[in-house]
């Protein structure tokens, strides 16, 4: 059984303010660097065999922090890259929340497509294809995948058996850790949106027990 540790990238200057999409050149803020280091510290005892990342700066920075204690190189994986928001890229969330499409994305995401971009359904399909390929290449290993909030939510929704129209009920915060095991007997969701400090404390408690 392959264990996948999904990490959402740490915070940038756009987090919670703008849709970055596939814009590159948006690095982690100083707060984000600390957040990434905290996540890396929480994961350093996990016997990771590979680390994959969305190709963007914010994800690769986060992934490198996690990879360093393990002596691993970060592998770029476009399939777990951010949603292609099209004309919505780099636009303010305060403006977008007033649009009809925003309401549809929240209430009926399976029918939503971003202008000149992807549909929510397409994002889920290509992310799942990427995850399945990783599992094929790493049978019975622990692997970290550093990705984006909506992408991770869509992947976890699928393996939870949650309809895509309900995926927004899942919360995946910056720097959080979500865990999934995949094998011949089916998927097991082991954790969702674990915060690094809480995650580390759980490890300490397990060792003490």
Write the CATH number for 46. Answer: 3.40.50.1240
For the chain, percent of residues with pLDDT exceeding 90: 91
202: CB partners within 8 A, 6+ apart: 194
Confidence (pLDDT) at 194: 95
pLDDT for residue 200 is more than 70: no
Distances (CA, A) of 135 to 5, 77, 108, 182: 12, 13, 30, 7
Q: Quote the domain boundaries for residue 34.
A: 2-208
Confidence (pLDDT) at 83: 97
pLDDT for residue 103 is more than 70: yes
Residues in the chain: 209
Average of per-residue pLDDT across 2-9: 98
Q: Is the full-model pTM beyond 0.75?
A: yes
Average of per-residue pLDDT across 183-207: 78
Question: For residue 58, with 0-12 CB atoms within 10 Å meaning exposed, 13-18 middle and 19 or more buried, which class applies?
Answer: buried
Looking at the structure of the chain, the number of domains it has is 1
Average pLDDT of the chain, as a whole number: 94
Model confidence band, residue 14 (pLDDT cutoffs 50, 70, 90)? very high
Cβ contact 47:119 at 8 Å:
no
pLDDT for residue 18 is more than 60: yes
Confidence (pLDDT) at 156: 98
């Amino acid at each position: 059984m392959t264990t996948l540790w999904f990490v959402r990238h740490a915070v940038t200057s756009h987090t919670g303010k703008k849709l970055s999409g596939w814009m590159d050149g948006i690095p982690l803020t100083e707060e984000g660097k600390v957040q990434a280091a905290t996540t890396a510290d929480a994961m350093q005892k996990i016997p990771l065999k590979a680390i994959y990342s969305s190709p963007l700066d914010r994800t690769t920075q986060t992934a490198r922090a996690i990879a360093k204690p393990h002596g691993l190189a970060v592998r770029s994986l476009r399939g777990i890259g951010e949603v292609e928001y099209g004309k919505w890229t780099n636009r303010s969330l305060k403006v977008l929340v007033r649009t009809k499409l925003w309401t549809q994305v929240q209430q009926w995401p399976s029918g939503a497509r971003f202008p000149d971009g992807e549909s929510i359904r397409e994002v889920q399909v290509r992310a799942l294809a990427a995850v399945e390929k990783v599992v094929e290449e790493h049978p019975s290993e622990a692997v970290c995948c550093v990705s984006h909030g909506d992408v991770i939510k869509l992947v976890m929704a699928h393996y939870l058996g949650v309809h895509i129209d309900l995926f927004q009920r899942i919360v995946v915060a910056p720097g959080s850790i979500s865990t999934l095991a995949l094998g011949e007997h089916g998927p097991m969701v082991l954790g969702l949106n674990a915060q690094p400090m809480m995650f580390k404390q759980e490890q300490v408690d397990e060792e003490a027990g």
